Amino acid sequence: MKAPFQGRLRGRLRGRRRLVAVAAVVVLVIVGALVAVVVPGSDDAIRTRSQFVAGTAENGSAVMLDTTSYQPRATPAPAILLAQGFGGSKDDLADAARSLAKRGYFVLAYSARGFGRSGGLVHLDAPKYEVADATKLITYLATLPQVLKDAPGDPRVGVAGSSYGGALGLLAAGDDKRIDTVAADITWNDLSQALFPNAVAADQAAPTASEPADGQPADGQPADADRPGVFKKQWAGVLFTSAAQRQPGECGRFAPDLCAAYQRAASTGQADAAILSLLRASSPAGVLDRIAAPTLLIQGERDSLFSLGQADANARGIAAHGTPVKEVWRTGGHDGTTSTDVLARNVDNWFAPTLLGRGQLDTSFEVGVPGSSISTQTGQTVPRILRADDNATSRRTARVTVAGPPQTIYAPAGGSPAAISTIPGLGDLLSNAATLSRSTGAISGSGSESGAGSGLAGLATIPGQVAAFVSEPLPAAMLVGGSSTIDLRVTARDTSDATLFASLVDLAPDGTPNLPNGLVAPIQLTGLQPGVARTVTVALPGVVTQIPAGHRVVVAIGTTDSAYQLPASPRSYVITMDSGTLRGDLTVATIDGHIGGSGLPWIWLVAGGAAMVLLLAGSLVSRLRHRRRRAVAADLAAVPVVIEGLVKEYGDGYRAVDGVTFRVERGQVVGLLGPNGAGKTTALRVLMGLIRPTAGTVRLFGELVEAGAPVLAKVGTFIEGPGLLPHLSGRDNLRLFWAATGRPPQDAHVDTALEIAGLGASVERRVKTYSQGMRQRLAIAQAMLGLPELLVLDEPTNGLDPPQIAEMREVLRRYATTGRTVVISSHLLAEVEQTCTHVVVMHKGRLVAAGSVEEIVGASRTQLAVADPEEAQHILAAAGMTSQIMPAQRSLEEVFLRMVGADQ
């Protein structure tokens, strides 16, 4: 009876179909599962099991590691070992683990030794301890019947992690050949250079990182110099405190040797040979030649802890030995929010070919381009991606002439007051409060020794502490991608060493500065002769930024930065151009590639002297605009979503979505339903421009969707894990979040969003005092900022009790009454029936039904009403007709199970 029923239902609903779409993605975010349980009601019944597994013994005592496994529906399955970030635990990995398990992986998440409930001490990814633990966990995976094996004792396994967990994955891959693939996000190459840039002992090898933000010393120094490095004190303090506070005592759970080394560095502000040795032993730089597993390296563009140069060094070292490597520069990082869509897409695409046998490895170089990103209402972005077939050969340079007189800059005793470029975890929130003088004369000067630095003022720079060399207005837009360099002369007046900080600033015509991502590059010079100039090649921080036509480029050299340990004695320096004139060449790093999704080339034309790098020729821009206009269907401009004939087929022939057509109208609350593997997530990823369809079209408000389409700015989304800051109030979270989108404050409509969400006076309290229901309400309010036309929510009632679910139901209904549209993905069918006006049901990539809840449920209730059912049954029997009394269908859940349940 199932097929005829569905046929009749589809016939009745044809012409009245409606769309719903949400982007359900994987990302390494926070929530946990501590006990073994089968998740009730989940559409793929992921089984979780927590237990302790033996790690590497320490000081003669056993060490047990706290783990949770996430078992997918189908086993045996390839495994993923999921490693945490520093200071966290396995709880932080629960969302990521569950999402990966839904995609068919057996996931083992664990707390590293010294963290969470795991035993042992923190040795900072030491080969003898943390790396040895990873090997033991892989051996444990090999004993599980649920894990796919390549050979006895050899599980098919990938290792993934961010920061601390990312470095662990690289170190483990260099040690354990059973690892089949690695995905390392925002991690380091050489930890000694990340925390002590420029540090090198005379009897040790030179630093391996290639960028000054990570410690490559400026040229012109003696090769055998003993340099203590510029101590990145703020980040070091944050990392040490995050682990030490977990247990009483001065060192907490840090290993004694590591604790003692940190205490010495914190006291002296310098690195000694012992701490450099410890940090280098925990650095992937030493094992890159042994990594044979295909490796994905994702690095954040907003990251003052581990810069782009660290990923570059890892990529070069691994690729040099023939191992497939993909490098991605993404938005976000340790200092900023992360686009979960971008991160999930890259990790998904990398693991699937190696572990699941789907598709092929894509080793192209990808860069998220700031300024061309489209921010959704929750701060997630869909950036335009610059793609290059080869990392090394795609790097280009262009020359820009900058000018400035000789400038004397001063460093106060103890470095106080100090410039503020970045704050750990908050990025350049404060740096862009800086202002440059609107007088170009104050910057370029007329040969005065003292006036140039006064053009830099505000929080990011202190008058008298910075020298500035400025270009003419750019004749064409420029994309900076990487670490640019310039030759300068430095003269120390009264000291034999120098600690300086270099940065590249984008200066708008009205004098407004932009210090890209708040990044500066520390420079340490030793062996100087007072009064004698030394020529140095200064490498600026590795950044990705678009500088518009008409803006100026500023090279700034400062004497202080609050993030670093500064000299105790006062000193002064004279900074001049190396050419002996007032002008010099800045070598700008660029990248040659094309914009993914649109196929339009990014063109850089390099000319001599002051020639700029062209981003797009005028005629190309004109064609793009014309193409955009033609992509908008005027008759659909008022319709939030229209999908027609959508097909998505992967390289292995698997068709995830097959000929799906439906639409969503204004004012509807729509629920997307379907069992695991129905094609919901794929359809939604196409909807958000994250992947391209094989066939068919997707339109939002009449405009064709592609990566970075401007129409995506009309969409507000909430994916599990809103990333709220617990120490801030709800209102401050919303303000900070909106500021990160770069939109005017008056466009946020904070009060309206709060009124709809119904948080009341609680919005003034700190988020750490909120219940789960209040956090969900705040997350919904965050998604509503700017009052987006289309609100897309993934499981908005997760973790809520029945009263809270009822309240959330009213929140969503109130939002829809404003004439906007709400789309919900949920496995709670009863809740969807009470909340939604319409539903879309998918199964095995095809559309099963779409329409109003009343239509779909009502269609299943068709029956003949009689006063006396028993008498009617006797009459039918006398006529030779068999009958039986059956209850009417009474819920959407019953209808849904009737549609797809028998096929599970």
The residue that leads in pLDDT, 637 or 109, is 109
CATH 1.10.150.20 fits 37-191+284-391, yes or no: no
**Whole-prediction pTM value?**
0.62
The predicted structure's pLDDT at residue 651:
66
CA triplet 150, 151, 153: central angle to 5 degrees?
Answer: 110
pLDDT value at residue 588:
95
Q: Which CATH architecture has domain 397-595?
A: Sandwich (2.60)
Matching residue, tokens 């140039």: 452
What is the bridge-based pairing of β-strands 715-718 and 790-794? Answer: parallel
pLDDT top residue among 607 and 797: 797
Amino acid (one-letter) located at 186: I
Rounded Cα distance, 500 and 522, in Å: 6
SS3 of 14-51: the string is CCCCCCCCCCCCCCCCCCCCCCCEECCCCCCCCEEEEE
Q: What is the token pair recorded at 94?
A: 């629960």
Cis-peptide into 76, omega within 30 deg? yes
Confidence (pLDDT) at 534? 93
The two structure tokens encoding residue 276: 């450099």
HEC assignment per residue over 200-245: ECCCCCCCCCCCHHHCCCCCCCCCCCCECCCCCHHHHHHHHHHHHC
Q: In whole angstroms, what is the distance from residue 336 CA to residue 517 CA? A: 9
Strands 466-471 and 552-558: antiparallel
**Residues 6+ away with beta carbon under 8 Å from 713:** 374, 375, 376
Taking the C-alpha atoms of residue 881 and residue 198, their distance in angstroms, rounded to an integer, is 92
**How many C-beta atoms surround the C-beta of residue 146 within 10 A?**
16
Tokens 């944050």: give the residue. 238
Q: Do domains 37-191+284-391 and 640-855 have the same CATH topology?
A: yes
587 has a pLDDT exceeding 90: yes
Three-class SS state of 354: helix
> Of all residues in the chain, what percent carry a pLDDT higher than 90?
31
Contacts of 38 (CB under 8 A, 6+ apart): 45, 47, 48
pLDDT computed for residue 99 by the predictor: 83
pLDDT at 377 over 50: no
Asked whether 474 and 554 are in contact (CB, 8 A), the reply is no
Residue 799 banded pLDDT, cuts 50, 70, 90: low
Full DSSP string of 705-760: P-TT-GGGGGEEEE-S-----TTSBHHHHHHHHHHHHT--GGGS-HHHHHHHHT-G
The residues spanned by each domain of the chain are 37-191+284-391, 195-279, 397-595, 640-855
Calculate the CA 818 to chain-centre distance.
32
Q: What's the CA gap between 331 and 484, in Å, rounded?
A: 19
**Alpha-carbon gap, residue 793 to 823, rounded angstroms:** 6
Token digits for 456? 């830099």
- Distance linking the first and last C-alpha atoms of the chain: 17
Residue 35: its pLDDT value, please?
A: 28
Q: Which residues contact 630 (CB under 8 A, 6 or more apart)?
A: none
Class of CATH domain 640-855:
alpha beta
CB-count burial class (<10 Å; 0-12, 13-18, 19+) for 15: exposed
Q: Considering Cα of 191, then 160, then 116, then 338, what sign does the dihedral take?
A: positive
**In which residue are the tokens 């139901």 written?**
809
597 pLDDT higher than 50 = no
| Six-digit token string for 621 | 């821009």
Mean per-residue pLDDT, 58-69: 94
User: Which helix (H) or strand (E) segment is 66 a member of?
Assistant: strand 64-71
Q: What average pLDDT is seen over the chain?
A: 77
CB-based contacts of 504, cutoff 8 Å, min separation 6: 480, 484, 516, 540, 541, 543, 553, 554, 555, 556
Q: Which residue has the tokens 């802890």?
A: 305
Confidence of residue 723 (pLDDT cuts 50, 70, 90): low
- For residue 258, the number of C-alpha atoms closer than 13 Å in the C-beta half-sphere is 23
Which pLDDT band, with edges at 50, 70 and 90, does 344 fall under?
low
